[in-house]
Amino acid sequence: MYRYDEFDHAFVKSRVEQFRDQVNRRLSGELTEDAFKPLRLMNGVYLQLHAYMLRIAIPYGTLNARQMRMLAHVARTYDRGYGHFTTRQNLQFNWPKLSDTPDILAELATVEMHALQTSGNCIRNVTADHFAGAAADEVADPRPYAEILRQWSSVHPEFSYLPRKFKIAVTGAERDRAAIQVHDIGLHLKKNDKGELGFAVYVGGGQGRTPLVAKKIRDFLPEEDLLTYTTAIVRVYNLFGRRDNKFKARIKILVHEIGVEEMTRRVEEEFSHLKGTELTLPQADIDAITRYFAPPSLPERPEGWAQIAGWKKQDAGFARWVDQNVEPHKHPDYGMVTISLKPIGGIPGDASHEQMDAIADIAEEYAFDEIRISHEQNVILPHVALADLEPVYRALVAQGLATANAGLITDIIACPGLDYCALANARSIPVAQEISTRFGSPDRQAEIGELKIKISGCINACGHHHVGHIGLLGVEKKGAELYQITLGGSGDENTSIGEIIGRGFEPAKVTDAVETIVDTYLGLRLSKEETFLEAYRRVGPQPFKDALYGSTAEAA
C-alpha cells in the first residue's frame, strides 16, 4: 500500500492544526455554526441527529493492521466502542465530541490516515475493487491509479468547491465489484489490442433523487492521459454544472440535460487543450506508485488443498463459510476471505473495537498485513493461504465474525437511517435486522442463493437501494414511516436501476413483503442455478406485483 512521504506527513499535520484552530474558534463562539459548517465538512465532521459524526477516509478501501488498531483505539477512547464501515469504503464514528476531533485526527495522522474531503462539494474518497491485486479476473491492480487520483484531487484549488460532491471509482477486473457505473466518473482499467493499459471512461452515473446509469464517453484512454482527461471532465462539470438547485447539481444531471454526445464533445475539446501538458503522467511516476502496491511474496502452500477438504468434512459450519466467504485467488494455493459484518440480526457494517483489534491480529498473522473494506460494508483479507483458513475461521468465530453469508440475502447493505442521520425519513437498521433474522437459517439462505438487499433511509440513497436486487427506500408519509420497494437493480458490469414495484409498506409489513417476493422467485425460477436477478429480468415485475398486491390496480 502507499506510504506517506515527507510532503504527505507535513500536509496532513498542517491540516490537523488548521482544523484544531477552527474547532477552538467554534467552541469559543468566535465562529458561528453557519461559518463553521463548510470548514468541518472538508475535514469529515458532520452534525448528525444526536451528535457529531466523524468520517475517516480509507483510500480505495486499503489499510493495514496498524491502521485498523488505530481505528479500534479511537472507537474505544473517543467514541462508544464501535465504528461503522460505509459504502464509500470509509469508517464513521457516530459519537465523538467536537472538542476531541482534532486529537482524533492527530492520532490518525500518526498511522497515515485522515478525514480530508470525506464530505463537502469536492472530490470524495476514490474507491476501488476490494479484491484488487488478488482477483484472478484482474487485468491490472487499479489501486495505483486510485492513489494517483487521490494525490491529484486532495485540496485541488480548482475543484474544492464544485456544484456538488463528486465520486470516482476504479476497477481493473472483468467483473465490476466497484459499481463504477453509478459514479460521477467510473474507470475500467483494460488493455487494448496492442496490450497497452488504459481506461474505459464512464461519466454521469449516480443514485439519489435522480438515479442514472453512467454513459461511456471513451472506450480507451491511455494511462498517461488519466489526469488530463479527468481534469477535463471535472472542469466541464465545474463550469456548466448547475448551482441554482442542489437537487440538480450533480454531473449526472448535466449529462442528462445536454446529452452524452454534447458532454463528450465538451470534454474532448477541453482535453485537447490539456493533452501533452504537465498533467501528462510520466511512465516513471506510474511505475513508482505501482511499486507501492506490489503484491506480497506468496510462498507455495499446496498442502492446503488436502487440509481444507478434511476440515470441511469435519465441520459443516466451516464448510459453509469456505464455500460462501472465500473466493479464488490468482495464486491457486490462496483465497480471498470476506469477513462478514452482517451477523444474523446485527447492524450491517458495524464493528466493535475488540473485533477491529482481532481483525488486525489475524491480518498480521495470516494475511500479509493487508486488509480491505468493500463497498458492501464488509472486511476483506485478500491473501490467505488455504492451509491457514481453519485457524482464521476459528479466530473469527471467537469474535462473532464468521457469518457465512457473503452475497446472500442476509448480507444486507444499510445506511444508518433515522437512528442517526438528520436527513433520514425512516429507519434502516431495524428493518435490516428483522429481515436478517427472518432469513437467518443457513439452509434457507442457501436455497435462495445470491440475492442482494439494500436499504436507504432517505432519497439520498446512501444504502444503494437503487441497485439492490431488492431495494428498500424509507419515506415519510403523513408523519409515518413507509418503505418503497424496487426490484431488479444491479451495481455490477450489467448495471441497472431497480423498478418501483408499487405502493409502500408499513414497517410491520415490510419483512413479510420481502418474504412474498422471495417465495415468488422460488416458485418461478427455472432451476436452482437461476438467480433472483436472472429470474426477474426474464419474467419482469408483474408476477411480483400480483403476489404483493393481488391486482395491478392496487399496486398503482
CA 398 – CA 440 distance, rounded (Å) = 19
Measured in degrees and rounded to the nearest 5, phi and psi for residue 20 equal -60, -45
State the fold for domain 135-292. Answer: Sulfite Reductase Hemoprotein; domain 1 (3.30.413)
Convert the pLDDT of each residue in 352-377 to its tens digit: 999 999 999 999 999 999 999 999 99
Give the sheet arrangement for strand 82-85, strand by strand. 45-47, 52-56, 91-93, 82-85, 350-352
- Non-local CB neighbours of 65 within 8 Å, separated by 6+ positions: 360, 361, 363, 364, 369, 371
- DSSP-assigned states of every residue in 340-376: -S--TTS-TTEEEHHHHHHHHHHHHHHSTT-EEE-TT
Convert the pLDDT of each residue in 374-428 to its tens digit: 999 999 999 999 999 999 999 999 999 999 999 999 999 999 999 999 999 999 9
When the candidates are 3.40.30.10, 3.40.640.10, 3.90.480.20, 3.30.750.24, the CATH number that belongs to 6-110 is 3.90.480.20
Residue 551: band (very low, low, confident or very high) from pLDDT cuts 50, 70, 90: low
Residue 455 has pLDDT above 90, yes or no: yes
CA 473 – CA 420 distance, rounded (Å) = 16
Q: Which of 180, 174, 169, 172 is nearest to 198 (CA)?
A: 172
pTM above 0.95, yes or no: yes
The set of cell numbers assigned to 459 is: 432519497
CA 254 – CA 240 distance, rounded (Å) = 7
Convert the pLDDT of each residue in 26-79 to its tens digit: 999 999 999 999 999 999 999 999 999 999 999 999 999 999 999 999 999 999
- DSSP-assigned states of every residue in 496-555: BPPEE-SS-B-HHHHHHHHHHHHHHHHHH-SSTTS-HHHHHHHH-SHHHHHHHHSSHHHH
Residue 513 has pLDDT above 70, yes or no: yes
Convert the pLDDT of each residue in 281-297 to its tens digit: 999 999 999 999 999 99
User: What pLDDT is stored for residue 555 in this prediction?
Assistant: 46
- DSSP-assigned states of every residue in 267-331: HHHHHHHHTTSTTSPPHHHHHHHHHHTPPP-----THHHHHHHHHHHH-HHHHHHHHHHEEEBSS
> Which CATH class name applies to 302-399?
alpha beta
Residue 198: band (very low, low, confident or very high) from pLDDT cuts 50, 70, 90: very high
User: What pLDDT is stored for residue 547 in this prediction?
Assistant: 98
Q: Which residues pair with 140 in a beta bridge?
A: none
135-292 and 413-549 agree in CATH topology: yes
Q: Which CATH superfamily is domain 413-549 in?
A: Sulfite Reductase Hemoprotein, domain 1 (3.30.413.10)
User: What pLDDT is stored for residue 553 in this prediction?
Assistant: 44
What residue ranges do the domains of the chain occupy? 6-110, 135-292, 302-399, 413-549
Q: With left for phi above 0 and alpha for psi between -120 and 50, is residue 518 left, alpha or beta? A: alpha
